[in-house]
Every structure is written in structure tokens, then in C-alpha cells.
Structure 1
């Protein structure tokens, strides 16, 4: 009987040791894999190098163009609301995004006289409420992020909270992986 117990415990001990050793190896590799953040000089050099590429030249020309200046002026108008995560009153102007856009689900909205793309990343359960929006609906938007892209003539607001008639119709669900 003792031999059977020893025969069962011995493989258990060996497997436990291997699992524990493998975990230590994985911890060491993950610690080494984290890259160091770039210094300001390295970032500056990288940016200068990128601006010399065809994409960088195209972007620089777009920033200086009237369309780029219009986009940056629109971003500046709502920057305080974005930073403070405060309400922005908007009117839905279109239920479709500009032709050729790859932003997913979104609408066009006018805030303080300027047009913006408002994009959403809805769950399936939230999609029905967002699709109930109509042109000329007055909504309240809150967001932490506004971006731009040379492909679009409008600033892009990531919609995180939308309210219509004092009822919440969309609230972004945080990602489960923490990012």
C-alpha cells in the first residue's frame, strides 16, 4: 500500500515542481520584455525622421492646409469640455459618416456651430438605442477623447456618454482587459 501512495505522490511532486519552475521562467522573460520609454531627444529624432517620409510630408501639408486648420480649430473649441469631461450640446446632422470612412458606427453632429464625427464602440445591446437617433435630435455628449486624421475634414469625437431628452441612450462599457 505504501508503494502505491509513493507512486501517486512522486509524479504529483515532480509536476508541481515543473509548473513552479516554468512560472518563474515566464516571470523573468516578461520583466525583460518591457521596453524603456523613449527620452525626449529620442522622440524628437524619431518625429523628425518620420516627417521626412512621404506620409510625414503629406501630414505636414494637411496640417498647414485650410482643411487641417479647420479641424484643429474645431478641436480647440471643445478642448476644455473634453479635458473636463463636461456636457456638450449637439444636434445630429447626419446618420451616416463621410463616404469611405472606416470608423465603425457613428453620426455627424454639430456642436457650437462646427461639424464633428461622433464615433461609438457600442455593445450589441446598446446599438438599438443609438440607431433610434434621428436627424435634428438634440443630444448631450461627453467624451475624454477627440482626434483627427487627414482622411477626414472633421474632428473625430469618441462618444462615451450620450443623452437624449434627459435619458441616457449610450454609455461606453469599459474594456475588460483594463485598457
Structure 2
């Protein structure tokens, strides 16, 4: 009888010891080595190095070209609205993006007399409301992000909030588990 009791208690002790040891390991916090941010001198050196690459040379030529200057001028017109996340009135000019575009779902819109690409990072449930947009619809857009690329002749606005007829038709859903 004693042997049976010892045989039952021994595995219980071993298992509880393993569980306790595993719990202590999980409670320890591991510090991931975070990359040290570049100093301004290192950043400048990396930028100079990139500008010497074929892609960097191509980008610099585009910036100096009339098309690049036009894109930068358009971006400058709405930069204050972007940084302040304020309303911008827009008119939809096209329901499709330029040919060869790889931006996903988006529309062309005119804001303050300048054409922009307005792209959306949507979930399937939000697409239906965006598909209801028509050419010449007046909308209100808010965004935090403005970008440009040599491939496109227009500044690219990431639509985060869109309103039509005082009704919200799109509001970007924050990503789960991160930025």
C-alpha cells in the first residue's frame, strides 16, 4: 500500500515542480536589443550613400523634373491639413486609379484645384460604402499621411476618414497588435 501511495505522490511532485519552474521562466522579462537610432550625421551619411545608388539618382532626377515639382507643389498645398488632421473638401474625379497602379483600392479626387490619389486600406465590410461613391460627389477627407512616388504623377493621400452628406462612409480601423 505504501508503494502505491509513493508511486502516486512522486509523479505529482515532479509535475508540480515542472509547472512551478515553467511559471518562473515565463515571469522573467527578456529585453530585446533595440536598435540604436541613427544620429543626424549617420542619417546624412546613409542618405548620401542611397543617393549614389541607381534608384537614388533616378529619384533625384524625378524631383528636379517638372512632374516632380508639380507633385511637390500639390503636396505642399495640403500639408497643413495633413499635419493637423483637419477636414479637406474634395470632389471625386475618377473611380479608378492610374493604369498600372499597385496602391489597392482608391479614387482620384480634386482638392483645392489639384488632383490627388486617395487610397484606402479597407476591410471587406467597409468596401460597400466606398463603392457607393460616384464621380462629382463632394466628400470630406481627413488624413495623417501624404506620400509621393516617381511612378505616379499625383500626390498620394491615405484616406483615414471620409464623410459624404454629413454621414461617415469610411473610418480607418486601427491595426490589431501594433502600429
Match of residue 123 from structure 1: 123
- Structure 1 window deviating more from structure 2 (54-63 vs 11-20): it is 11-20
Distance (whole Å) between structure 2 residues aligned to residue 23 and residue 52 of structure 1: 48
Deviation of residue 6 (structure 1)? 3.4
Which residue of 24, 31, 37 corresponds with 1:20?
24
CA RMSD of aligned residues (A): 1.5
Match of residue 42 from structure 2: 42
Q: How many equivalent residue pairs?
A: 175
Deviation of residue 2 (structure 1)? 4.9
Distance (whole Å) between structure 1 residues aligned to residue 18 and residue 125 of structure 2: 49
Structure with max Cα Rg: 2
The normalised TM-score by structure 2 is: 0.92
Deviation of residue 123 (structure 1)? 1.2
**After TM superposition, which residue ranges in structure 1, 4 or more long, deviate above 4 angstroms?**
none
Structure 1 segment 65-144 matched on structure 2, within 5 A = 65-144=65-144
Distance (whole Å) between structure 1 residues aligned to residue 114 and residue 123 of structure 2: 28
Deviation of residue 128 (structure 1)? 0.2
Deviation of residue 91 (structure 1)? 0.3
Distance (whole Å) between structure 2 residues aligned to residue 114 and residue 9 of structure 1: 75
The normalised TM-score by structure 1 is: 0.92
Match of residue 157 from structure 1: 157
Match of residue 15 from structure 2: 11
**1:78 match: secondary structure:** helix
Deviation of residue 104 (structure 1)? 0.3
Q: Which runs of no fewer than 5 residues in structure 1 stay unpaired? A: none
Deviation of residue 17 (structure 1)? 1.4
Distance (whole Å) between structure 1 residues aligned to residue 66 and residue 9 of structure 2: 82
